[in-house]
Every structure is written in structure tokens, then in C-alpha cells.
Amino acid sequence: MKACVYRRYGGPEVLEIVERPRPVPGPGEVLVKVAVSGVNPTDWKMRRGATAPRALPYPEIVPAQDGAGVVVEVGEGVDPARSGERVWLWECAWRRAGGTAQEFVTLPADHAVFLPAPASFDLGAALGIPALTAHRCLTVSADSSGRLGPGALSGCTVLVAGGAGAVGHAAIELARWSGAVVVTTVSSEEKAALARAAGADVVINYRTEDVVARTREFVPEGVGCIVEVDSVTNAGIDQDVLAANGIVAVYASDERDLSMPVRPVMTLNARYQFVLVYTVPPAAKSAAVEDVAAAVADEALRVGEETGLPLHRFPLARIREAQSAVEEGVTGKVLVDVSEPS
């Protein structure tokens, strides 16, 4: 089978397409024929060694956490009826050497989630890390049940910073599915159109509009939850638009330090919650997988430019370009076509 691998840290040039033996599922595992692989920022950061141990943890690594395909074989202890099941895959390459950038992948059975027939493999490959991250950000407030679904966020107002990104898009759709009112910020009119297509109630171009004034105009009491992609740049805005007892859920960062005046944040009884989906508590992660699967079944999660998330496709042979596109900040979701589905 064909697989993308790297054997050392570095730029896109370290990625190679090689032939490998088809893997065999072990106990509790399934073997999936991957149709589409999703590319996330984690992929290029891990490849460059930014989020990994000093030495490469395995002699050879297949990148990519997310994907979608068909179960073709099951290991001991897994229901044989799962063979032939369409699935979406999540967190395949976290502390494992084999991600979804290969024609066949083995992984724990609970990391392969049923994908109903109306949902495309493109959607399945775009879920994973972005949707689970968005779920965590939306469910960490003190009074949250930890679950999303129709009515779960009724009466809540959410501000999604960067609503045209993959996590921002998922946050808008999951929040709206759960009954929240959604305000989002974007950097251009093109991205504003995408955020509106995703379902945002209020879209603010932060380059041309006053985010605090526009948000307070729509929500005078402030927003209860902020899904934050740039906590350092937006620290002042977040504190000015946050409601009493609100929360800022931070899921992305750079190398700068975050600082804030203690008294105003204390007066608000505000909370900052930092989110890295890989180390989220197992029970919370399981709940997120269940809720994302339910949102897919309800057709509340979508992909494609008409829904606010443009797709950028590459064949496996051009995976270097695919990872470079994500590293360069392309708007939308980057997908890699790995193989024809069975």
C-alpha cells in the first residue's frame, strides 16, 4: 500500500511516499481503508518538531490525525458486523506512528466512528480535531453539562474569534445546533460571507469595525463564552465584551506571553480555559465524540464553500503541498485524497 512517511523533523521536503505492507488489526482495533485524510496545523507542527519530543518518537511516522473511509477488517474483540462500515477517524497519530496519510490504517475501534450514508467522506475527514476542539471550547463553562445538542446552549451568546477557520466553523455550527446565539469576527468580506453561510448571527470585520462596540450593541450584557484563536492579540477585546462569570476558551497560541489586568477579570469572575484536544480528560473526549456524531446525524455539521468551509483537495502524491497550504494559513479545510473507497 502507499503511505506518506517522514523519518526526521523538517520542512515539507522530509515527507516521502513509500510502499509499506498492509497492516493487520490487533485486539480491539479495526483496519480502515482510508478514502480521505484531513490536514490540521498539528501535522506540520509535529513534522517540524515543534510539538514533539527532541528526538523523533518513532523511526518512521505517517502523519494526519483525521480521516474517513471504510472498515475492511476487525481485530479480536471487535464486533465483526463493523466490517464494511463507513467511518470517520479521529486522533489517529497522537502518540502513535500511523496516521491517516496512508491507504490502510489500524487504530482503536472507538477512534473509528460510524458515518451515516448522507454524510460524505469529505465531511468525515473534516471532523476530528476541529470539531472536538470546538466542542471542548463550548462546554467548559462552570454551569455547562459538558454536552452539546439541541437546546443545550439556549440563552447563551458565544463569540467565535476567527469564524472562517476550521475550528471556528465547527464552533459556529455546533453552537447554533445547540441553540446559542453566535457572534463571530473575521478579517475580510470574503471570510464574512463564509461565517454567515456557517450560520453566525452577527459577523464583525475586525479590520474595519469596532469589535467591542458592535458586540455590545448586539449583546449589551456581554457574551458568556468566547472561543478564542488568538488570546494575546484579542486579550483587551475579550475582557471588554465578556459577561460576568463568562469564560474565554483558548485553543490556539503562539510564542508570546499572555498578560492581563487582574482586577477587571476578577471583577467579572471570568475564567480562562486553555484547550488542547489531545490531553482533554477521556470522559469529556468521549462525550465530545458522541455529540459530534449526533450533530452529523442531524446534518448540523457541513463542509463546502456554500456552507462556510471551502475545501482544498490534493492527491496523496502532493501531500507536501497540502501541509504547506495549512502552514501558510489557507482559508478552509485541506483534504488529501488517499484511495478510492471500497
Least confident of 10-14, 46-50, 314-318: 46-50
The C-alpha atoms of residue 248 and residue 297 are separated, in whole angstroms, by 29
CATH number of 2-127+301-337: 3.90.180.10
CATH 3.40.50.720 intervals, the chain: 131-278
What type of residue is 54?
R
337 CB neighbour count, 10 Å cutoff? 19
Give pLDDT, residue 255: 78
Residue 302 phi/psi, 5° resolution?
Answer: -140, 165
Q: Is the pLDDT of residue 278 over 80?
A: yes
pLDDT: is 95 or 52 the higher one? 95
**CA distances to 97, 99, 286, 335 from 113, in Å:** 20, 16, 11, 19
134, 114 in Cβ contact below 8 A?
no
pLDDT computed for residue 65 by the predictor? 97
The residue written with cell numbers 523519518 in the block is 7
pLDDT of 341 strictly over 90: no
Partners of 21 in the beta sheet? none
Is 282 a residue whose pLDDT tops 80? yes
Is the per-residue pLDDT at 340 higher than 90? no
pLDDT digits (tens, 9 = 90+) for 73-92: 999 999 999 999 999 999 99
Q: Given CA atoms 35, 38, 42, 43 in this order, what sign does their dihedral have?
A: positive
43-70 residue pLDDT tens: 999 999 986 667 899 999 999 999 999 9
pLDDT of residue 5: 98
**pLDDT for the residue numbered 253:** 77
**Is 44:321 a contact under the CB 8 Å cutoff?**
no
| pLDDT tens digit sequence for 129-147 | 999 999 999 999 988 899 9
The answer, yes or no, to whether residue 245 has pLDDT greater than 90, is yes
**In the chain, which segments carry CATH 3.90.180.10?**
2-127+301-337
Sequence-ordered list of residues with C-beta below 8 angstroms from that of 248, at least 6 positions apart, any chain: 226, 228, 231, 238, 242, 270, 271, 272, 273
Q: How many beta carbons lie within 10 A of that of residue 224, not counting itself?
A: 22
Average pLDDT, the chain: 96
Distance CA 140, CA 79 (A): 34
Please tell me the predicted confidence (pLDDT) of residue 52.
62
Span 15-19, average pLDDT:
98
CATH superfamily of 131-278: NAD(P)-binding Rossmann-like Domain (3.40.50.720)
Say which residues have a Cβ less than 8 Å from residue 253's Cβ, sequence separation at least 6.
Answer: 231, 232, 274
Residue identified by cell 489557507 is 330
pLDDT given for residue 53 in this prediction: 65
CA angle (238 as vertex; 235, 244 as ends), nearest 5? 130
- In terms of Cβ atoms closer than 10 Å to its own Cβ (0-12, 13-18, 19+), residue 100 is buried
Does position 328 have pLDDT exceeding 90, yes or no? yes
